[in-house]
């Protein structure tokens, strides 16, 4: 029951921290609340060959640690299907298809859209992702939402709408909810806005063969009995040279603790002594996004025969962004539609049958009547998950980065902070989770 380090949470961050401690020969324990590892990454098997990623799915260039961990374990990746034309529909207007990255919008809208993206990329270069609150214009940018900036800088409605859909698909939150400084920080942390939005050369470039949870399961297998599932941590008691961690079922002791759970969930744990006030307020002010992934599974990816790539953008209906999520060999067709931000809040209130009907209606509008012939429909919302509290990740409302943000990684006596929300690179992504876990392990190693 006595360890060098106890890690709380067996998502990618906790698992990555644990592997580092194992390499260093330390005695450690990972306590995980759920009955599975992976956290916000959860692959559901449909049949022997077919699976869906209910949570995270994609990896892309510069996510180097994820690629290394995958490679070391012989897990391969494959390109996201993007051959053929994409689909666009505004309001109840005509469904249009287009090739490449430039949607069929009036020239004025396209120009302002392009200018806005370039401007955000340029402004984000002035941000140090390790301390966004230090940027020259941090106070000004943190005082406005991304939406306020868009209202000022994107005069054309269609351009603004399209940007809003893109923003919601990056943050799973309404641009009214988070600060412009946070948007700049996030873009910087993931390279730039284009990288966050795109398939090719972007964060959606590849999927993991067998599903995104496969790596987590493999890491957990290597860690063996050092992981305890169904252990909900309820209190952390710090003494001079020892920490007592209490779960709903037992007590454990260690020299150091790494907390690798979403920030919003941290204040649910009782700390003795209490969390420093500024740190507690910071965690309490980091709400999580809101997202449903919806899936329709078909005999074949029929849209590919029409030269469509399954990628659609629309502001009509609940799902605003869709992807082809079929297995690499196309042995089944899978359309995945995101329901994001405020739409996800309304979607949550619909009965199951209505959810299915409205999503299949949308797919039929975008890809043809065959969309109604789904072999199976399923969806998964993350806001209701007790041990996630929402997804994809936490965001910063106005004023939070500049008033409290500097507390984000400050150790609290023997307690150190991991989790993707503490990452400086690829914050909000699996890559950020891994890097944050490894950083927290490096912090505690000299002391154990
Ligand atoms: P988590 O995965 O949240 O792990 C925290 C763990 O702590 C959980 O297992 C939880 O059960 C456990 N826990 C919580 N409270 C307690 C407690 N009191 N005691 C013990 N254990 C506790 N990222 C990408 O890179 N690519 C994508 O395509 C992508 N898409 C996404 C799509 C969706 C729908 C979602 C939900 C997320 C997506 N993400 C994506 C984000 C990605 O999943 C996360 O950034 C990453 O998995 C976070 O890992 P983590 O270890 O920091 O946190």
> Counting atoms of ligand 1 from 1, which one is nearest the CA of 54?
34
What spacing in Å lies between the alpha carbon of 98 and ligand 1's midpoint?
Answer: 34
Residue 94 in tokens: 């005509």
What spacing in Å lies between the alpha carbon of 230 and ligand 1's midpoint?
Answer: 16
Which pLDDT score, from 0 to 100, does residue 101 have? 87
- Contact (CB, 8 A) for 278 and 381: no
Of all protein residues, the one whose alpha carbon is nearest to atom 8 of ligand 1 is 39
Sorted by sequence, the CB contacts under 8 Å of residue 403 that are 6+ apart come out as: none
**Ligand 1 pocket member 135 (CB < 6 A):** no
Handedness of CA 235, 437, 396, 429 (dihedral sign): negative
What spacing in Å lies between the alpha carbon of 385 and ligand 1's midpoint?
Answer: 11
Q: Which string of b and e fits 175-212 if b means at least 16 CB within 10 Å? A: bbbbbbbbbbbbbbbbbbbbbbbebeebbbbbbbebbb
Alpha-carbon distance values, 204 to 145, 175, 183 (Å):
25, 21, 18
CA-only gyration radius of the chain, Å: 22
What spacing in Å lies between the alpha carbon of 388 and ligand 1's midpoint?
Answer: 7
Beta sheet of 319-324, edge-to-edge order: 96-98, 85-89, 308-314, 319-324, 333-340, 291-298, 376-381
**Ligand 1 pocket member 294 (CB < 6 A):** no
> Counting atoms of ligand 1 from 1, which one is nearest the CA of 269?
18
- Contact (CB, 8 A) for 98 and 86: yes
Report if pTM > 0.85.
Answer: yes
With tokens 């961990």, the residue in question is 69
What spacing in Å lies between the alpha carbon of 394 and ligand 1's midpoint?
Answer: 10
pLDDT in tens, the chain (448 residues): 899 999 999 999 999 999 999 999 999 999 999 999 999 999 999 998 899 999 999 999 999 999 999 999 999 999 999 999 999 999 989 999 999 888 999 999 999 999 999 999 999 999 999 999 999 999 999 999 999 999 999 999 999 999 999 999 999 999 999 999 999 999 999 999 999 999 999 999 999 999 999 999 999 999 999 999 999 999 999 999 999 999 999 999 999 999 999 999 999 999 999 999 999 999 999 999 999 999 999 999 999 999 999 999 999 999 999 999 999 999 999 999 999 999 999 999 999 999 999 999 999 999 999 999 999 999 999 999 999 999 999 999 999 999 999 999 999 999 999 999 999 999 999 999 999 999 999 999 999 9
CA-based nearest residue to 375, from 326, 413, 445: 326
Q: Alpha-carbon distance 166 to 168, whole Å?
A: 5
Handedness of CA 375, 335, 207, 130 (dihedral sign): negative
> Counting atoms of ligand 1 from 1, which one is nearest the CA of 204?
28
Residue 60 in tokens: 């892309």
Residue 436 in tokens: 């944050």
**Ligand 1 pocket member 154 (CB < 6 A):** no
Omega of the bond prior to 165 within 30 degrees of 0, cis?
Answer: no
Other beta carbons less than 10 A from residue 248's beta carbon: 10
Q: Alpha-carbon distance 425 to 435, whole Å?
A: 8
Q: Dump pLDDT digits (tens) for 121-131.
A: 999 999 999 99
**Ligand 1 pocket member 393 (CB < 6 A):** yes
Sorted by sequence, the CB contacts under 8 Å of residue 347 that are 6+ apart come out as: 292, 318, 339, 355, 381
Which pLDDT score, from 0 to 100, does residue 49 have? 86
Other beta carbons less than 10 A from residue 327's beta carbon: 18
What secondary structure, in 3-state letters, does the chain show?
Answer: CEEEEEEECCCHHHHHHHHHHHHCCCCEEEECCCCCCCCCCCEEECCCCCEEECCCCEECCCCHHHHHHHHHCCCCEEECCCCCEEEEECCCCCCEEECCCCCCCCHHHHHHHHHHHHHHHHHHCCCCCCCHHHCCCHHHHHCCEHHHHHHHHCCCHHHHHHHHHHHHHHHCCCCCCCEHHHHHHHHHHCCCHHHHHCCCCCCCCEEECCCCHHHHHHHHHHHHHHEECCCCEEEEEECCCCEEEEECCCEEEEEEEEECCCHHHHHHCEEECCCCHHHHHHHHCCCECCEEEEEEEECCCHHHHHCEEEEEEECCCCEEEEEECCCCCCCCEEEEEEEEHHHHHHHCCCCHHHHHHHHHHHHHHHHCHHHHCCCEEEEEECCCCCCCCCCCCECCCCCHHHHHHHHCCCCECCEEECCHHHCCCCCCCHHHHHHHHHHHHHHHHHHC
Which pLDDT score, from 0 to 100, does residue 1 have? 82
CA-based nearest residue to 6, from 23, 26, 24, 31: 31
- Contact (CB, 8 A) for 142 and 180: yes
With tokens 């999580």, the residue in question is 288
**Ligand 1 pocket member 429 (CB < 6 A):** yes
């Amino acid at each position: 029951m006595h360890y060098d380090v106890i890690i709380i949470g067996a998502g990618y961050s906790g698992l990555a921290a644990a592997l580092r401690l194992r390499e260093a020969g330390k005695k450690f324990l990972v306590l995980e609340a759920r009955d599975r590892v992976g956290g916000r990454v959860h692959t559901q098997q449909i049949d022997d060959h077919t699976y869906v990623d209910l949570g995270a799915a994609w990896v892309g260039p510069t996510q180097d640690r994820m690629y290394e961990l995958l490679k070391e374990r012989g897990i391969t990746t494959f390109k996201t299907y993007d051959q053929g034309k994409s689909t666009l529909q505004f309001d109840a207007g005509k469904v249009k298809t287009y090739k490449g990255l430039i949607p069929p919008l009036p020239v004025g809208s396209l120009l302002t859209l392009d200018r806005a993206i370039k401007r955000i990329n340029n402004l984000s270069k002035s941000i140090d992702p390790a301390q966004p609150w230090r940027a020259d214009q941090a106070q000004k940018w943190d005082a406005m939402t991304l939406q306020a900036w868009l209202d000022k800088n994107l005069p054309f409605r269609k351009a603004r709408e399209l940007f809003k859909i893109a923003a919601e698909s990056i943050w799973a939150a309404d641009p009214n909810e988070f600060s412009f400084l946070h948007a700049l920080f996030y873009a910087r942390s993931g390279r730039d806005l284009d990288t966050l939005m795109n398939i090719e050369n972007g964060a959606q470039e590849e999927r993991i063969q067998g599903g995104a949870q496969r790596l987590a399961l493999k890491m957990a297998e290597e860690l063996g009995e050092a992981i305890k599932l169904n252990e909900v941590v309820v209190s952390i008691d710090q003494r001079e040279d020892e920490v007592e961690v209490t779960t709903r079922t037992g007590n454990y002791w260690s020299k150091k603790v790494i907390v690798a759970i979403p920030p919003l969930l941290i204040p649910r744990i009782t700390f003795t002594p209490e969390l420093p006030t500024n740190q507690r307020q910071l965690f309490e002010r980091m709400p999580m996004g809101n997202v449903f992934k919806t899936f329709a599974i078909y005999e074949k990816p029929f849209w590919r025969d029409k030269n469509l790539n399954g990628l659609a953008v629309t502001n009509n209906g609940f799902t605003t962004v869709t992807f082809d999520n079929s297995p690499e060999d196309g042995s089944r067709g899978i359309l995945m539609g995101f329901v994001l931000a405020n739409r996800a809040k309304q979607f949550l209130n619909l009965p199951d049958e209505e959810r299915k009907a409205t999503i299949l209606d949308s797919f039929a509008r975008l890809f043809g009547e065959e969309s109604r012939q789904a072999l199976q429909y399923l969806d998964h919302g993350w806001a209701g998950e007790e041990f996630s509290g929402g997804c994809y990740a936490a965001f910063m409302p106005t004023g939070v980065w500049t008033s409290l943000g500097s507390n984000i990684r400050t150790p609290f006596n023997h307690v150190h902070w991991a989790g993707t929300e503490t990452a400086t690179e690829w914050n909000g992504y699996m890559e950020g989770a891994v890097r944050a876990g490894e950083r927290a392990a490096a912090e505690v190693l000299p002391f154990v």
